[in-house]
Structure 1
Amino acid sequence: MKTYFRLLSFAKPIEKFAIPYVICTLITVVFSTLNLALLAPLLHTLFKTGKEACEAAIEVVKPEAYTDILAWFNYYASMANEQFGAYGALQRVCIAIVISVFISNLFRYFCQRIMENFRIHTLLKLRRAVFDSVMDLHVGYFTGQRKGDIVSKVASDVQVVQYSVTGTLQVVFKEPLQLIAYIVMLFNISAQLTFFSLLVIPVSAFLISRIVKNLKSQA
């Protein structure tokens, strides 16, 4: 762990990259989750039957819970259907999806740009530190070492270390946030199906791994 924190010191000032990366990641995760949620009103508007349309036209009730995101989207889709008709509601739902996808991809691009700048910054400091260390070595060191080994350490090995250091932001911030957001949205859509999926997926993965292991042993 001490070695890792020592390597992480080459990324300083890390807050220069971490703060904008976290902000862009939050916006990306929010709108990526909304893309999933917006599919419900789109499908509801497309495949609504005549009986459902008549029932929706009689009364459109606001959801009681503010956390019920899916119900709010369906409420606004029903309001748009009542005011602008099915075609107008479909247009507005599609426009909302396009805007949400555009914002999500735009901030995902910003995240990648920040990450690339962070990697270049870390790689530059690492290679500069390695170069200074090599320059401080005694001349006799170079007679006992192969030149290719030194070049490999300065080039490829430093790059491997750099990727392990810069991957910290993705592991700590992006992936947990995205996982939590999708799980919350799935529970919001259907808690029973989400529980069923969480129970079935590990069992299926275990069975598949056992089958693959048996096939490899037989081969």
Structure 2
Amino acid sequence: MSLNVRRLPGVYAPQADSALLAAALARESLPDRARVLDVCTGTGALALAAARRGARVTAVDVSRKAVLNTRLNAWLAGLPVRVLRGDLLSPAAQGTYDLILANPPYVPAPDTDLPARGPARAWDAGPDGRTVLDRLCRQAPPLLNPGGVLLMVHSALNDPELTLSVLRATGLKATTVERSFIPFGPVLRGRRAYLRSGGFVGPDEHEEELVVIRAERTS
């Protein structure tokens, strides 16, 4: 599945986590004219991938640049993607969906407050990296249609077992469907001392494991 899209300056580029989520999307069966919500859409790469399969896609991002970037890429591709700006699921919370895609910020950061602007807004996620993940785990299940699926990518640094437990507690059937190890990128390399002091990584660790969680509403 191609993630080649235009990227405007200051917008999070599709990377290994986006590719892993795209692989999970490619394996997912979608009903005809499925309603898909892509949260933290960035460039809109995943939204466009779903739209190419005939889905009716809504894409959301808090960043004005990301919203503009997604609209541009949808226009260039000739695909009808509805793009909204706002905080996580709130702009699209009036609807229900057959599939919710999420590549949220998940990198542990020393600051409790999330950045309000700048590139770090795309990855910083509080001291344990779960500030946004936990909100998604609470807010996404009520928006799924019966048989609907949440596909969410994050790092093993964020305790995937906790994600599974929280989603199962909402009544969803949750499993890990994709895993991949990648070398630490610039953000994790620059934050290695904090990650070591917090027990997120060991002194000799130089790779990060990415996971995709699949959670299905079975009734």
Which of the five TM-score ranges fits, normalised by the shorter chain? under 0.3
Q: Which structure is higher in helix share?
A: 1
Q: Which gives a bigger RCO, structure 1 or 2 (Cα 8 Å, sep 6+)?
A: 1
Give me the TM-score of the superposition, normalised by structure 2.
0.25
Output the TM-score relative to the length of structure 1: 0.25
Point out the structure with the larger strand share. Answer: 2
